[in-house]
Structure 1
Amino acid sequence: MCMNTEEWVSTRSFGFSTKTHRSKRSKVRVYLLMRRRSEQISGRDMELKNLRLYLENQSIIEENEKLRKKANVLYQEKLVLVSELQKKFPPIGCSPPVVYPIADSVINKEVTLC
């Protein structure tokens, strides 16, 4: 089992040169694997961010629809109150009523104001 110095040096130098060659390959492979893994991780991160933004957008859209419906109900109540007010207290000495068309996505009514 004991080697002489020449055998040990020759095998050592030969082994060292192949190890260096393998080492370069292995370093490249490790680099490529690390790069692929980081791309996968960043891809997952992007997917998670995208999902979070999508869910946030959906909640904003739902809230917007609720507020739009609420605003429409308030607008209709306002029209009813204005018409009741005009019936109770007709304007005195006012020129003929002017009709203003009000365009709304849900209702199209005309309001008479003095």
Structure 2
Amino acid sequence: MCISSQNIYVSMHNKQSKKCRIQLHQLTRRKIKCEENIGKDMIILKNLKLYIENITILEENEKLRKKATLLHKENLQLMSEIQKQFSPSDRLSATLNLLLHEKEN
């Protein structure tokens, strides 16, 4: 059996092109995986940013809730002092007004 030089070249060329195609597919898969990982990382960073923002908001809400409680206590104390300055009948009406005001809120 005699093999011509053209047949050897063609067969070697086909092997190289398949190898190139395989490498190209591997690179394409790696690129896609890399892009997917970058996308996942971006989502994780965005979620982390939102999580930190939520924690900050919750802490601020807690501070405001404490401040509101202190202001409410101060308001009750001032109302109590005002009631002491009026006569007993005036105190009764002031107490009723206070109770009505608290029910509205």
TM-score (norm 2): 0.72
Normalized per residue, the structure richer in strand is 1
Residue 86 (structure 2) pairs with residue 89 (structure 1): yes
Q: Deviating runs (4+, > 4 A) in structure 1?
A: 94-97
Deviates more, 1:68-77 or 1:16-25: 16-25
Cα separation, partners in 2 of 1:11 and 1:89, compared to 1, 3 Å: farther
Match of 1:57 among 54, 59, 65: 54
Which secondary structure does the structure 2 equivalent of 1:80 belong to?
Answer: helix
Match of 1:41 among 38, 42, 45: 38
Which amino acid letter does the alignment assign opposite residue 15 of structure 1? M
Cα separation, partners in 2 of 1:71 and 1:35, compared to 1, 3 Å: same
Uncovered stretches (5+) of structure 1, i.e. residues with no partner: 1-5, 104-114
Q: Which residue of 1 aligns with 2:69?
A: 72
Q: Which residue of 2 aligns with 1:3?
A: none
> 1:52 and 1:32 mapped to 2: Cα distance?
30
Number of residue-to-residue matches in the alignment? 96
Superposition CA RMSD, Å: 2.7
Q: Which residue of 1 aligns with 2:29?
A: 32
- Aligned identity (percent) is 32
Instruction: Report which structure shows greater RCO (CA 8 Å, sep ≥6).
Output: 1
Which amino acid letter does the alignment assign opposite residue 60 of structure 1? I
